Amino acid sequence: MRRRPEASGADTMTLPNSSPLQQAGEPVTRVELLKAFQAAVQTLQASGVTNGFGLTLAQEPISSERLAAVLQSIQDVIYSVSPDGNQILYVSPSAERVYEAKLEDLTGNPRDWFSRINESDRELVRARLPELFRDGRIDLEYRIDLPSGGIRWLRDRMQIVRDEAGRAVRIDGIASDITPQVHADMARELAEGTLRLKDRALESTHNGVVVTDMTNPSQPIIYANPGFERITGYAVADVYGLNCGFLQRDDHKQTGLAELREAIREGRECQVILRNYRKDGSLFWNELSISPVRDNDGRVTHYVGVQNDITERIRQEEELQDRTQRLDAIFAMSPDGFVSFGKEGRVAYVNPAFTRMTGLEPSQVLGDSEAALDARIRDRCDPKAPYRSLIEAPCALQSEESQRAVGGDLLQLMIPERRILSRSVRREEGGAKVLYFRDITRETEVDRMKSEFLSTAAHELRTPMASVFGFSELLLRRDYDEQTRKDLLSTIHRQAGALIHLLNELLDLARIEARAGKDFKVSVQPLRPIVENTVASLLVPNDPRKVVIDLPTTMPHCAVDAEKLQQALTNLLSNAYKYSPGGGEIRLDTVVDDGGRIGIRVSDRGIGMTPEQLSRCFERFYRADASGNIPGTGLGLTLVKEIVEIFGGTIQVESKHGEGTAVTVWLRVAEPEAVAA
Partner 1 sequence: MGRKILIVEDQADLRKLVRMTLEFGDVEIHEAADGATGLHLARELRPDIVLLDVMMPGELDGYQVCERIKSDETLAGVRVVLLTARGQQTDLEQGRKAGCDAYLVKPFSPLELIDKVEELGRAAKA
In this structure, is the dihedral angle defined by the CA atoms of residues 117, 120, 121 and 124, taken in order, positive or negative? Answer: positive
CB 384 to partner 1: min, Å: 17
Of 407, 58, 1, the C-alpha closest to 182 is 1
Nearer to partner 1, 246 or 618 (CB): 618
Q: How many other C-beta atoms lie within 10 A of the C-beta of residue 412? A: 18
Nearer to partner 1, 459 or 511 (CB): 459
**Is-contact 276 311, C-beta < 8 A?**
no
Nearer to partner 1, 105 or 487 (CB): 487
In this structure, is the dihedral angle defined by the CA atoms of residues 115, 120, 121 and 126, taken in order, positive or negative? Answer: positive
CB 670 to partner 1: min, Å: 42
**Is-contact 526 557, C-beta < 8 A?**
yes
What phi, psi does 441 have (nearest 5°)?
-55, -45
Q: Which residues bind partner 1 (CB under 8 A)?
A: 455, 458-460, 462-463, 465-471, 473-474, 477, 488, 491, 494-495, 623, 625-629
H or E, element range at 334 = none
CB 489 to partner 1: min, Å: 13
CB 381 to partner 1: min, Å: 24
What phi, psi does 676 have (nearest 5°)?
-60, 140
CB 513 to partner 1: min, Å: 23
Give the chain's length: 677
CB 448 to partner 1: min, Å: 13
Which strands form 88-91's sheet, in the order they lie side by side? 88-91, 77-81, 168-177, 151-162, 137-145
Q: How many other C-beta atoms lie within 10 A of the C-beta of residue 26? A: 9
Residue type, 485: R
Q: How far apart are the first and last CA of the chain?
A: 128
Three-state DSSP class for residue 80: strand
**Is-contact 610 542, C-beta < 8 A?**
no
Q: Cα angle at 346 between 342 and 348, to 5 degrees?
A: 55
How far is the C-alpha of 256 from the C-alpha of 242, rounded, in Å?
20
Q: Can you list the pairs that 87-94 forms with residues at least 24 positions away whose Cβ atoms lie under 8 Å?
A: 87/23, 87/24, 88/24, 88/113, 89/20, 89/21, 89/22, 89/23, 89/24, 89/170, 90/21, 90/24, 90/28, 90/36, 91/24, 92/40
Nearer to partner 1, 273 or 475 (CB): 475
**525 CB-contact burial (10 Å; exposed 0-12 / middle 13-18 / buried 19+):** middle
CB 508 to partner 1: min, Å: 22
How far is the C-alpha of 551 from the C-alpha of 586, rounded, in Å?
14
Nearer to partner 1, 465 or 562 (CB): 465
Nearer to partner 1, 419 or 623 (CB): 623
Before 416, cis peptide (omega within 30)?
A: yes
- Cα-trace Rg, the chain: 60
CB 456 to partner 1: min, Å: 9
CB 445 to partner 1: min, Å: 18
DSSP tag of 117:
B
Nearer to partner 1, 400 or 625 (CB): 625
CB 329 to partner 1: min, Å: 46
The DSSP bridge pattern shows strands 660-668 and 597-603 to be antiparallel
How far is the C-alpha of 236 from the C-alpha of 221, rounded, in Å?
10
DSSP tag of 381:
B
CB 615 to partner 1: min, Å: 16
CB 467 to partner 1: min, Å: 4
CB 462 to partner 1: min, Å: 4
CB 501 to partner 1: min, Å: 15
Nearer to partner 1, 333 or 458 (CB): 458
Q: How many other C-beta atoms lie within 10 A of the C-beta of residue 508? A: 17
